[in-house]
Structure 1
Amino acid sequence: MKVVGLFILLLLWTTIGWSQITHPKASPFTRIEQEVGLSKISLEYSRPAVRNRKVFGIQADGKPALVPYGRIWRVGANESTKITFDSDVKIEGNDLPKGTYALYIFPYENQWEIVFHKNTSHWGDGRDNYNPEEDALKVSVLPLKTLAFQENILIYFDELQHDSAQLIIHWASTKVQVSLSFDTTSTMDLEIQQKLQDNPSAQTYYEVARYYQEQGIRLDEALSYLEKALEKGGGTYYFYRVKSLVEADLGNYKDAIVTASKSLRLADAEKKDEFVRLNQKSIKLWKSKL
């Protein structure tokens, strides 16, 4: 009888296990990746909704809202939010080594403390186990009130440059921005040195010059590299286009107009209408500066 009873118990347990329903989550999981220059950021979080609730601070009846002031918050729901940087980064000007961190926030009415925490094993906000000594970095930012209402919490990256971006957290009518910056220049300098020492092609010279032009740096070098690119047979409409931009950046508008005219003719021959229009617009602008 004991064996039969045990068999029935196991059967019931198995049946219950098999009959569990996989249901939609109230706070759906999200994973995003964002490139910033030569670096990559990965973010994992769950997105709770407002659902007509008071989100931050104190409710009208004096009771704490969904996310009370002064208490640790996981910046989402379910597991703690995780953020990964594949290279060293500066957060609001402060150094943070590459790695994966739990992202926490201590919100206050006029200031939010953003925490990058080394211990990523806590469930949720880790309220009972949170140890500030395990913080990798804590920075303060100002919360902003917005006219745009965000129902589900939204974390994203904007104002993307080769070496910087803004980490933006928006929920309900509150938004914060956290500045991120990367040392892309040093990484690029090393790569450029290596490429220029390894039998560079016309395309190599062009790509180096285009990078310098986009960054507004080393324009004399950029012009020299473009001339080398053209000498190596790189006489294309886009080579001449970038050369004209560098010449204009250096204030050589007469040379820029001549070069842009070459780019325009080559682009027109290949039916590259966009580059035809770009060159026409540039030539008109530069003529006005003479």
Structure 2
Amino acid sequence: MKITSTILAVLIGSCAFAQLKFPAVSSHSEIEQKVGLTEFEVEYNRPNVSERKVFGKLVPYGEVWRTGANENTVIKFNQPIKVNGKDLAAGEYALYSIPNKDEWDVIFYKDTKNWGNPKEWKESNVALKVKAVATKSMNNKVETFEIRFTNVTQQKADLVLAWDNVNVVLNIETNTVSSVLKMIGEQLNENSSARDFYNSANFYYSNKLDRNQALKWVNIALEKDAKAPDYYKELKEKLEKEKY
């Protein structure tokens, strides 16, 4: 009986000290996007406007902002890219920014383990800093801070930072074409399947590369597969008719 009472007291004590769980003020979000062969991941926290004046007050002009809430906003990608025309190595970066009225500095920072801004800002950790235009819209207010990819193609996409009535767009370019050309050069051979020859020809056609080479490959695909789908023949017709 005494042992039972002791166990009960321990359980009651544990419940008394159990940590209460409350919803986060700024919601957590993770997004993934594939651009060509490059895989992107963004992890961040999303503050709300909540009837506050955001840029110029809550987020002061001319000062480093964590580009979100709470811990670092982190962006990862597995292949080198260009951001607004500038090279950036594959890896994992904290995404900081310095908002101003008409233009932002956006910073890819190597140390991703901070809560908010680093206690000591190190220029040696700045992998890349680019400028981007801040576009304002009075008719399209974004209550909850958002990071999204738009205008996604095989080679590029726009990375958009949107909050309140401000949009900032970063132009992202991948190395898709050079990667695929290298793969074709190393792997396409006489033993490759009809599908591989068709896909190689279609990639050349889609990216306006060597038309004669693409035509050779689609002809090989048709020779290899007597029951090839109609779109093989349609690609051949396009290559024969179109001049680019």
Residue in structure 1 matched with residue 71 of structure 2 by the alignment: 79
Residue in structure 2 matched with residue 264 of structure 1 by the alignment: none
Q: Provide the rounded CA distance (Å) in 1 between the counterparts of 2:93 and 2:13.
A: 38
Residue in structure 1 matched with residue 135 of structure 2 by the alignment: 144
Residue in structure 1 matched with residue 7 of structure 2 by the alignment: none
Among candidates 112, 127, 139, match of residue 120 of structure 1: 112
Residue 16 of structure 1, CA deviation: 4.4
Among candidates 115, 132, 135, match of residue 126 of structure 2: 135
Matched-pair contact (CA < 8 Å) for 1:122–1:129: no
- TM-score (normalised: structure 1): 0.76
Residue in structure 2 matched with residue 282 of structure 1 by the alignment: none
Residue 129 of structure 1, CA deviation: 2.3
Q: Provide the rounded CA distance (Å) in 2 between the counterparts of 1:79 and 1:102.
A: 10
Q: SS state of the match for residue 148, structure 1?
A: coil
- What are the residue-to-residue correspondences of 1:40-189 with 2, within 5 Å? 40-57=39-56, 65-126=57-118, 128-146=119-137, 147-189=139-181
Residue 250 of structure 1, CA deviation: 2.5
Residue in structure 2 matched with residue 17 of structure 1 by the alignment: 17
Q: Provide the rounded CA distance (Å) in 2 between the counterparts of 1:16 and 1:124.
A: 33
Q: Provide the rounded CA distance (Å) in 1 between the counterparts of 2:190 and 2:97.
A: 48
The RMSD of aligned alpha carbons is 1.8
Matched-pair contact (CA < 8 Å) for 1:102–1:116: yes
- TM-score (normalised: structure 2): 0.90
Looking at secondary structure, tell me which structure has more helix per residue: 1
Residue in structure 1 matched with residue 235 of structure 2 by the alignment: 242
Letter in 1 for 2:63: R
Q: Which has the higher contact order (CA 8 A, sep 6+)?
A: 2
Q: Provide the rounded CA distance (Å) in 1 between the counterparts of 2:240 and 2:104.
A: 46
Structure 2 unaligned blocks of 5 or more:
1-9
Q: Provide the rounded CA distance (Å) in 1 between the counterparts of 2:142 and 2:150.
A: 16
Cα distance 1:16–1:247, how it changes in 2: closer, same or farther (>3 A)? farther
Q: SS state of the match for residue 225, structure 1?
A: helix
Q: Provide the rounded CA distance (Å) in 2 between the counterparts of 1:13 and 1:161.
A: 58
Cα distance 1:112–1:13, how it changes in 2: closer, same or farther (>3 A)? farther
Deviations 1:239-277 (A, max 9, x none): 1122222223238xxxxxxxxxxxxxxxxxxxxxxxxxx
Cα distance 1:131–1:14, how it changes in 2: closer, same or farther (>3 A)? farther
Q: Provide the rounded CA distance (Å) in 2 between the counterparts of 1:103 and 1:191.
A: 32
Residue 141 of structure 1, CA deviation: 0.9
Residue in structure 2 matched with residue 274 of structure 1 by the alignment: none
Matched-pair contact (CA < 8 Å) for 1:202–1:229: yes
Looking at secondary structure, tell me which structure has more strand per residue: 2
